[in-house]
A and B are shown apart, each in its own frame.
Chain A
Amino acid sequence: MAFLEINNLRKSFGANRVVENFDLAVERGEFISFLGPSGCGKTTTLRMVAGFETPTSGSIRIDGQDVVGLHPSQRKVGMVFQSYALFPNMTVAQNVAFGLKVAKRPSAEIGTRVEEMLKLIKLPALGGRYPYQLSGGQQQRVALARALAIKPRVLLLDEPLSALDAKIRVSLREEIRAVQRQLGITTIYVTHDQEEALSMSDRIVVMNEGRVDQIGTPFEIYNRPRTRFVASFVGTLNILKAKILDPVSGRIAIDDQDVRASRGIPDGRAGDIRTVALRPEAVSLENRVSDRNHLRGVIEEVSFLGSVVRIRVQFNGSSISLDTFNNPGLPPPERGAPVTVSFAPEDLLVLEGTEAA
């Protein structure tokens, strides 16, 4: 049995269905991200695990124990908030000690533990400072220490890095992941930033409008997105419309040019319009290999971004963005020049859901 089991979780506010049919099994020590845009239900789900929202139906089990009926203070769960939520009237040390103090642990034990935690977050000297004297990044680390001090069974983080500068976000997320690995604590991390989710998680739950679109490892989510939403939300993507010519062999037409998918399209029929997706890094200007797909078009725009050159190629009705590495020996192509691009059939993602013509 998984360490954290969420079964058929549902939450409605009045007639508004905020979370629907949420199922997830988390192993001990796993780092799971809930990823999605604002309003998709990820924070509400997290808050249900914490106990701040009551599910309309469904169950949540931690280590076999059903927690839905328990008050947050009884769940032995740690939480880190987006706004840090450090108690302003207490020093850093007092904040970290708070959970232990209300549990009435002996003061010697509290002292040792606080020291341990401050060392863990690499702020051993700041115990006597007040929150208003700390930077945002430091405050969030203290919040993490405070949550971990009580040795919770599960660690919940609600967009902890959203309020911080970009540079700090990158360094802090590595630190959070390192601490989590070191302690081996089961963690759920809510974010709308796909880079964060991809770089930190063991598995990602992609949510959209209250429903789970896909659960998988970062590799799976990025390379084998199941729905158009997942494909477009995670990473950049070229989205094109294609007409199915032969569903068995996987031949389709993009802007009246024939190309081949790597597999047949079992649930499609000839003449259906489907959405297909291509990662920019899968498309290249290299034309010599013959069993790749080719598309002929005209260069619409060339953006020199430094190490990367982004080229936009225009076809009859659609366009594709492709990225190539900057080559000092080879100047980028001219705008308006005709060009043929190629990609492997395996890189063409045929997405679920038939589109209207």
Chain B
Amino acid sequence: MKQSKVGPWIAIIIGTLYFVVPLIATFEFSLRMRRGEYSFDSYAIVLADPRFQESFLYSTFQSLATIIVGVLLVVPTAYWIQLRLPRLRGIVEFLTLLPLVIPAICLVFGYLRLYNSSSWLPMTGNDTATSVLLMFSYVALSLPYMYRAVDTGMRAIDVRTLTEAAESLGAKWPTILFFVIFPNVRVAILSGAFLTFAIVIGEFTMASLLDRPAFGPYLQLIGANRAYEPPALAIMAFMITWACMGFIQLFGRGARGAAIGTV
């Protein structure tokens, strides 16, 4: 059955134009720093900016912490739900979808009022505590993707049988969890990890309201004050996101699409 391909091609061409032109425009703009000729000056300035390095490092560190805490929360939970508590699956999945429903700004609003210095669980008293709070915020943001990636990975490996096999060979649950389950969901974890990194690096709202020196607020600051560095940063951010997605594809399916909390 032959179908006309004109329509589809037009859609693809228009789509390509809409998505690629801004990237080209941004790149071109970022090269305009030196008057009269194209150069990478703006990139050089950005990379040499100590605030860039600081904030990028801070956000990278945050994302690593987020990933670790996220994995430690998600993997055992997905494991026990699959193995022994199937009736709790519904409520756990509901909880993991809450960060997609509740806008990030509302969540951080709640944190600020609930955990400020005069509350029952003070977390904003000093910088470190606030950073910890920010990390937990990030864990909440990345929870839907991390959980879905790990849960899918676990469903694919028949956790029950692996556990019984390990038990019959004499292993206790810490051993099982760390030496049998974790390695087999490594790929799923990696997927979730890269998505978490992309989310955290670009995140603005929570970091700015909690007043932490993350990459997002730094981007915003540069955008307000400089002309050619912002596009350079935008291109770099895009490259990082592309790299993360590339790694996720490389390591298989799992997390899909939008980091809704960063918009």
Contact = CB atoms under 8 A, between A and B. Distances in A.
Q: Do A and B bind each other?
A: yes
Interface of A: 51-52, 54, 71-72
Interface of B: 1-2
B2 to A, nearest CB: 8
A54 B1 CA distance: 8
Contacts of A52: 1
A72 B1 CA distance: 7
Q: Is the interface of A mostly helix, strand, loop or mixed?
A: loop
Contacts, number: 5
In order of increasing CB-CB distance, the 5 nearest A-B pairs are A52-B1, A72-B1, A51-B1, A71-B1, A54-B2
Nearest to B1: A52
Contacts of B2: 54
Contacts of A71: 1
Contacts of B1: 51-52, 71-72
A54 B2 CA distance: 9
A113 B1 CA distance: 29
5 contacts: A51-B1, A52-B1, A54-B2, A71-B1, A72-B1
A320 B2 CA distance: 53
B102 to A, nearest CB: 34
B3 to A, nearest CB: 11
Contacts of A54: 2
Nearest to A47: B1
Nearest to A54: B2
Nearest to A53: B1
Nearest to A51: B1
Contacts of A51: 1
A50 B128 CA distance: 71
A281 B1 CA distance: 48
A52 B3 CA distance: 11
